[in-house]
Structures are given as structure tokens and as C-alpha cells.
Amino acid sequence: MLKEGTKAPDFELEDQNGKIHSLKDYAGKKIILYFYPKDNTPGCTKQACGFAELYPQFTEKNAIILGVSKDSAASHKKFETDFQLPFPLLADTELKAIKAYDVWQEKIMYGKKSMGIVRTTYLIDENGIIAKAFEKVDAPENPAQMLAEL
């Protein structure tokens, strides 16, 4: 996990609608950058729907929400449509941002080791600096937690 106070790595990733997003596009705004394992899974759905529910309060605070997983843009589009998600879901199929933000790690599930995304949320300030970093976040609680951080 990247440390608070460090410069957030830039990226260029496609969202569910084919638009390319980069960190520098959001200079002057606070960014909630959250990394999640997989579209349409119970924990990831709870987290995304929580951010969607609180979305008006995030926009009032001039904050942008960006979700990132290794799923494809097409998978993200279905996820967005199924749950009416109002924010970009970025497809990092080549793991560039996922590795740059140090969230691709060894995980153990049912006694079996594998590599995967550790659910992590970063709050990036208006100058592109990581203000807060949360690793192994509680999916349903994370949206309210991040709103409180703003």
C-alpha cells in the first residue's frame, strides 16, 4: 500500500463508456480512488452501491469517485447498468494502476494462495497527494467512512 503524504501515481484507464481517465484530469478536486476485486460480487456490489447512495454528498464536497478493478470495460458497463452507478468504473486489465498503487498482492482464500486485488481506498487531495490510505477496507462501511474523511 502506498503511504500517506506521497504523490499519487498517474494513470490512463478506460471507463465503462470508453472514456479515458487520468489522475491529472482531476487536478483541484479530491478523489476517492477505490480498488475492488470483481464486478457483480456481493462485497463489491455493497461497496459500489454505498458510494452511489452517497454520491450527491460526495459531489457537494467537490469529490470525485473512481472505482478500479481488473475487469473489462464491458463488465463494468453491465455492473453500472445493473446497479445504476453514477461514477466511472475504470478497467485496468493490464494491472498498471493496480500494481502502481500496490494493491496486487498475495491473498489466501480457503487455504489456497493466489494473487489478487486487496480492497483498498485512497483519498487523494487537490494536489495529487495521498491524504489517506485504507487497506483491507470493510466494503459496506467504506463509503460512509470516506465521506466522513472529507
Catalytic residues: 44
Nearest to 102 by CA among 38, 35, 44, 37: 35
Residue located via cell numbers 464536497: 61
* CA–CA distance, 16 with 93 (Å, rounded to integer): 13
The residues that bridge with 116 in the sheet, in sequence order, are: 105
Q: How far apart are the C-alpha atoms of 113 and 128, rounded to whole Å? A: 34
